[in-house]
């Protein structure tokens, strides 16, 4: 989730929207707090449900607060910091696994699983679904048979940051570890990303739904409410991260499900649910390019802030200077890195074609029946082949994209126009 996502502010937002949303999320969070305060011990499956639901609900609170807070902050850096706060749910669980791996090596596999799962889920599901929903909406509203989604020229900055981070990511499978120095370098790259945003032109945010209801409150009341939501939601997420992560592993044992797969897919799906829903809402409102631009920024965060933080958490947990990966984890890293390069290569022209969305979605779904090393390597080769073809096809955009993070001032995607490119020809 990133706070740079614009929000649509309706002329009148009923207060009952805010009351209803807070009541529902509060009711979902309360059972986890009762269990924690009372010191009760739940079965792994029940604990997974209770704590997982609390993390998801708190994620929504954090997302709404981050969006509404844009009305009271100025400057790209402030907005970027809100974006970092908003990704807390996604990172809390993974950083716990990395921290635990520092004194319990078995947890290393879970840190790697959660990181690769969240990365591939965002690009394999989030990107194509937003694009396909946008095209469906455009077609229903008289846009004809839409073939591609066109991004704003300013989005080349994010694509450039992601491309460089994606290339550097191959260092991990090549060395079989995530070294502390490498992590610090990624964190520095993320810092430069924040700096780039801080020098950008910030536009008035748009709000939608509950965030809009928060934004409609009187200034003083809104600021108090946003601050309370930040503190409350963050506290819930931090408190529930450990029991959620532990119950996730134990539930796998109890249900006879591969724990690696549960950690890889269920935890990221829970933490990223608010971001996906918000992006889909914008796509449904005809703002698909805005939504996909936000998901691109989230991908930058994952390859820099998340991956860079893992060895730091590992050291703090009592580990050495390198988070060592085994063969399975290296394979997952290769698969994740080549998927990223395929996505970036397809976006070099700042046009997201319909066939590209279906291909990303199809290759993502294809991985689930694959259980062997050979199968994962073949799938990686398929991603790499598509990436190579796309790079050749978009080669004239390669150098401008690589230089984009270092050139001029960035423009934070706000209310500036994005559009769908429609065509009646078949692909």
pLDDT, residue 77, reads: 53
User: Is residue 422 in some structural domain?
Assistant: no
Give the pLDDT confidence of 19-47 residue by residue, as tens digits. 899 999 999 999 999 999 998 989 999 99
User: Is residue 11 in some structural domain?
Assistant: no
pLDDT, residue 11, reads: 38
Q: How confident is the model at residue 12 (pLDDT cuts 50, 70, 90)?
A: very low
Give the pLDDT confidence of 392-409 residue by residue, as tens digits. 999 999 999 999 999 865
pLDDT: which is higher, 14 or 119: 119
User: Is residue 40 in some structural domain?
Assistant: yes
CA atoms within 13 Å, Cβ hemisphere of 252: 17
416 DSSP assignment: S
User: Is residue 413 in some structural domain?
Assistant: no
334 and 173 in contact (C-beta within 8 Å)? Answer: yes
Alpha-carbon distance of 83 to 76, in angstroms, equals 10
Give the pLDDT confidence of 350-394 residue by residue, as tens digits. 999 999 999 999 999 999 888 899 999 999 999 999 999 999 999
Over pLDDT 90: what percentage of the chain? Answer: 45
Helical (H) or strand (E) element with 59: helix 44-69
Where are the extended beta strands (E) located within 259-341?
Answer: 322-324
User: Is residue 1 in some structural domain?
Assistant: no
Q: How confident is the model at residue 243 (pLDDT cuts 50, 70, 90)?
A: very high
Alpha helices in 348-393 (DSSP H): 354-366, 373-393
321 and 179 in contact (C-beta within 8 Å)? Answer: yes
User: Is residue 9 in some structural domain?
Assistant: no
Which tokens belong to 248?
């996730």
- Output the domain CATH number for residue 200: 1.20.1420.30
Alpha-carbon distance of 1 to 67, in angstroms, equals 10
User: Is residue 424 in some structural domain?
Assistant: no
Alpha-carbon distance of 322 to 134, in angstroms, equals 42
Q: Among all chains, which residue has been given the structure tokens 């955009």?
A: 397
Which tokens belong to 7?
């929000």
Q: State CA 301 to chain mean position distance.
A: 7
Alpha-carbon distance of 325 to 304, in angstroms, equals 18
Is the per-residue pLDDT at 427 higher than 60? no
User: Is residue 415 in some structural domain?
Assistant: no
- Boundaries of domain holding 365: 17-407
pLDDT, residue 422, reads: 31
Alpha-carbon distance of 203 to 352, in angstroms, equals 24
Pairing of strands 177-179, 351-353: unpaired
- In the chain, how many domains are there? 1
């Amino acid at each position: 989730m990133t706070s740079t996502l614009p929000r649509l502010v309706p002329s009148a937002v009923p207060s009952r929207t805010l009351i209803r949303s807070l009541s529902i999320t509060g009711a979902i969070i309360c059972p986890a707090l009762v269990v924690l305060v009372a010191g009760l011990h739940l079965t792994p499956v029940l604990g997974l449900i209770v704590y997982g639901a609390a993390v998801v609900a708190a994620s929504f609170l954090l997302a709404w607060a981050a969006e509404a807070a844009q009305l009271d902050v100025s400057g790209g850096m402030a907005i970027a910091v809100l974006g970092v706060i908003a990704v807390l749910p996604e990172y809390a669980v993974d950083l716990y696994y990395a921290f635990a791996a520092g004194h319990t090596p078995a947890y290393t596999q879970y840190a790697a699983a959660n990181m690769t799962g969240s990365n591939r889920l965002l690009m394999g599901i989030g990107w194509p679904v937003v694009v396909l929903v946008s095209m469906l909406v455009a077609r229903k509203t008289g846009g004809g048979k839409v073939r591609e989604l066109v991004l704003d020229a300013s989005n080349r900055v994010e694509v450039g940051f992601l491309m460089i981070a994606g290339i550097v990511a191959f260092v991990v499978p090549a060395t079989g570890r995530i070294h502390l120095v490498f992590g610090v370098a990624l964190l520095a790259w993320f810092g430069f990303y924040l700096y780039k945003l801080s020098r950008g032109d910030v536009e008035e945010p748009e709000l939608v739904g509950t965030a809009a209801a928060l934004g409609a409150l009187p200034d003083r009341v809104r600021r108090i409410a946003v601050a309370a939501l930040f503190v409350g939601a963050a506290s819930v997420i931090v408190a529930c991260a450990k029991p959620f992560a532990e119950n996730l592993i134990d539930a796998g044992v109890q249900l006879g499900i591969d724990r690696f797969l549960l950690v890889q897919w269920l935890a990221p799906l829970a933490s990223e649910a608010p971001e996906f829903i918000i992006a889909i809402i914008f796509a449904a409102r005809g703002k698909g390019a805005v939504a996909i631009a936000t998901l691109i920024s989230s991908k930058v965060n994952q390859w820099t802030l998340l991956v860079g933080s893992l060895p730091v958490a590992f050291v703090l947990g009592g580990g050495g200077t390198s988070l060592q990966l085994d063969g399975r984890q290296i394979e997952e890293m290769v698969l994740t890195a080549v998927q990223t390069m395929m996505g970036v290569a397809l976006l070099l022209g700042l046009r997201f074609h319909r066939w590209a969305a279906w291909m990303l979605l199809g290759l993502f779904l294809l991985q689930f029946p694959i259980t062997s090393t050979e199968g994962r390597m073949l799938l990686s080769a398929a991603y790499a082949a598509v990436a190579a073809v796309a790079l050749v096809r978009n080669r004239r955009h390669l150098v401008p994209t690589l230089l984009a993070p270092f050139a001029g001032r960035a423009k934070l995607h706000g209310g500036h126009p994005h559009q769908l490119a429609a065509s009646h020809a078949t692909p």
